[in-house]
Amino acid sequence: MSSEKTYDDMDKISVELAEATANRVYLAEFRKSKKAILMKEAEAKSPGISAAAQEREAYASPEYVELLEGLKSATEIEVYTRHKLKILEMRFEAWRSKQATARTEMGLR
């Protein structure tokens, strides 16, 4: 393991993590807009429908359920990428400790 390769890998994974987090946050925020759009559509189909009924229609919509599946997937990717970065950091710290131990042992002989 070279420190330069590790830095490059960490940089690459950090970019992946930033993208994954941005996607998850976007979908989480878009979920609110989608609900409002679907509620508006429900009200247009049935004028005078209550807000609670509009909300129920929005939540039951296949489009809303599909968005939730996307949010689930985005969250999974974000968590997995964060875990990959953490593992790389742990491996790097173990390598650093090993290098420090080797330098210490060389000085003691």
How many structural domains is the chain composed of?
Answer: 1
Quote the CA–CA distance of 26 and 19 in Å, as a whole number: 10
CB count, 10 Å around CB of 32?
9
Q: What range defines the domain where residue 62 resides?
A: 3-108
Instruction: Give pLDDT, residue 109.
Output: 58
Quote the CA–CA distance of 54 and 36 in Å, as a whole number: 9
Could you say which residues of the chain have pLDDT below 50? none
Whether 14 and 85 have beta carbons less than 8 Å apart is answered as yes
CB count, 10 Å around CB of 23?
17
